[in-house]
Amino acid sequence: MYIKDPVLGYIEVNQNMIKLVDSIPMQRLRRIKQLCGSDFVYLGATHCRFSHSLGVMSLGEQLIVKLARDNDITTENIEEVKAAALLHDVGHGPFSHVFEGLLSKKFNKNHEHITSWLILETEIANILEKIGLSPEDISKLAVGKLNRKDQHYVDQIIASSVDVDSLDYLVRDSHFTGAEYGFIDIYRLIYTMEVNNAGNLAINLSALSTLEAFLLARFESFKSIYFHKTSRAVQIMLDEALKKADENSNFLNLDSPTEYLKWDDYTMWTFLLKNDASKDIMENIRQRKILKVAYDRTTHVKDEVVPSILTKYSVRNKIIEEIAQSAGDNIQPSDIWIDVPTLPTVPYSHSVNLEPMEIPVFQKTKNGRMISKRLTEISDIIRVLKGFLNIVRVYTTQENREKVSKAAEEILGTPESAKISM
């Protein structure tokens, strides 16, 4: 059957994949937004993880079929990639990445751990067995950790610098936000990918300009969509609400997949509104009484000291206490939040040991011989993007904004010349 998608056009879904699509864990993704908090900035950003998952499956199929022309890839391999791509986000909790904070703090897990768990312990495992696929293999491949000998590129289709996940979310999130950073010829990237001599997924330098456009779009999307100050403010408030509610009622457990799967954006929103510990925060979000930025500093320097220090919770809490003390007038540390949403602007998450900041590329000679190249030695644009996007923000309530702003500058320095003296 075919499903009409506003971003990729028609997505073909065979009967095997339909069985997975119709499973309870997959259908739950209809009720989890792709971009938690972004709809407070971009009116159209209400799309869900379900449509993204179908998009990733479609792109994954196109890429593995393309690679099959020159590699020893079976029909089963193709079905494996499709299933893994479809299921790659099945472990996401309510509010998407926001839920990771509670998972990490309470169980030292993230959505990838939950993805593998759900694939193995729900009806998905039975469906996979019936369609001739190994639940164990799919549980690993869905998070890019199959590590099958001589097939590293299969993992990299799902999780790498330029994988089908990021190819879909960049164009999809750009479409629904209207931010217009996602005008990327993703199909040119897909059809210029090959398996290089080291067995890794690599991009033909004939698509260099498209690859540069992809990385620029990713950089701009993180700045303007994923790390937008208002989106992050909503996420900080939801994170706080989740923690308070769990401290109050211990609602989150991983005793069974059924218990976990009952939570989606709808059920969690209702629960948090009723919980005594979180209802005030949720009411403020509902009325759009959002936290305000009191301090904002962005740099693009690798290993920048300020953000790297602030990622340590003990140090961050100490600085919050100092800001609160400096702000005075009964402002409490609980009235202040520090946000450090850092990431490399050139992505690096390969499942094999490749040099950081280098996306595998190659050039072909006239006789068809493949020559590997260093991307940063070829592209000035990539060389410029080789740094990090480091953002440090201090949030507080509207009434405390001015005092906290002054105090933050005293402690952290002005946004133009921020230093931390330890």
| Alpha helical stretches, state H, 184-228 | 186-191, 208-221
d(CA 338, CA 310): 8
Adjacent-strand bridge partners of 339: 393
Helix/strand/coil (H/E/C) assignment for every residue in 268-307: HHHHHHHCCCCHHHHHHHHCCCCCEEEEEEEECCCCCHHH
Angstrom distances, CA of residue 169 to CA of 145, 214, 225: 21, 12, 12
d(CA 420, CA 268): 38
Reference 139, options 151, 163, 156, 155; nearest CA is: 155
111 is catalytic: yes
Q: How many CB atoms lie within 10 A of CB 238?
A: 24
Give the burial string for 198-228 (b: 16+ CB within 10 Å, else e).
eebbbbbbebbebbbbbbbbbbbbbebbbbb
User: Could you say which of 111, 152, 228, 350 is catalytic?
Assistant: 111
Q: What are phi and psi of 395, to 5 degrees?
A: -110, 150
- Express the helix, strand and coil content of the chain in percent, nearest 5 each: 55, 10, 35
Amino acid sitting at position 124? I
Residues labelled as active-site residues: 111
